[in-house]
Homo-oligomer: A and B are copies of this chain.
């Protein structure tokens, strides 16, 4: 039996700018495929190097997300799995900027200093989707370089606990703006459900992003994205997890950055212990010698660290009973069939 296929292309006024507090735009059965349209983090308003975001964007209408999508049967304590089948830029350009008081190497609202803001500047990237590249063009010199496309979504999450409504720019236990390049096609993300239906939203496409997202924005683009969504009863992780063919991954979103690291590693130790039947300190040891720990972002209202364990360490043990592989195969079949 083929999965149900849905399409979700919001009109401009249908975008959400927060997680929580909204009725679903779409309700789906577990095991469904959804073709999504997402807008870029500037709501499409930055279209040339002269469009300074502080002038063409209006707070709080930043970082629009597509959703929420309710998953039928999802209850608090359950886990929603989202497999990214395909993430394709919707236009032949993408954009990045500095933004006053935003980024890791500038005074911000929180890291408050007496310096004036850094210059606000826009970089426009030409995309060649067929060639799989985008072009960085310096603004103050002739230097340019082709960079590989590596499309991903910066913002994916569900409605938060405790009836909170949290700006889409914030990453936390519900997911949100984690800004990790691991959220690419081929990855499955797992979110703990806090409210009936879970209420998944997706946005903030990047055609590529460095780890840490140090200037505050990636190469931002509207996307056409295909996901498979499924439901696991119970097993809600404390923070979002990811999985691809090579790694199981955990995340932590907090400040200071060492707390984000601690959260991601704490969950990686616990997950490893569970998957391998290890006592906790034995898992701590194994993770210490085999794990990877890249930064997601060090610029958002919370910072995000990722913990990665190679599946080679896990042997035959499979996370969520092999759900990732099943969703990956479902997605692949859909692409060939489409």
A93: shortest Cβ distance to chain B, in Å?
14
The distance in angstroms between the C-alpha atoms of A75 and B253, with both chains bound, is: 33
Query: Which residues of chain A from 233 to 265 have a CB within 8 Å of any chain B CB?
Result: 238, 252, 254-259, 261-263, 265
A260: shortest Cβ distance to chain B, in Å?
8
**Is A208 an interface position by the 8 A CB rule?**
yes
Contact at B165–A21, with CB atoms within 8 Å? yes
The distance in angstroms between the C-alpha atoms of A17 and B277, with both chains bound, is: 39
Contact at A266–B105, with CB atoms within 8 Å? yes
Residues of B near A267 (CB, < 8 A) are 112
**Is A131 an interface position by the 8 A CB rule?**
no
Interface residues of A, CB < 8 Å — how many? 92
A338: shortest Cβ distance to chain B, in Å?
30
A18: shortest Cβ distance to chain B, in Å?
6
A13: shortest Cβ distance to chain B, in Å?
15
Residues of B near A298 (CB, < 8 A) are 258, 261-262, 293
Query: Which of B104, B110, B140, B214 contacts A279, CB < 8 Å?
Result: B140
Contact at B294–A113, with CB atoms within 8 Å? no
Contact at A136–B286, with CB atoms within 8 Å? yes
Residues of A whose CB lies within 8 Å of any CB of B are 17-18, 20-21, 59-60, 96, 98, 103-107, 109-116, 118-119, 121, 123, 136, 138-141, 143, 145, 147, 161-167, 208-219, 238, 252, 254-259, 261-263, 265-267, 269, 276-282, 284-295, 298, 303, 305, 307, 313, 315
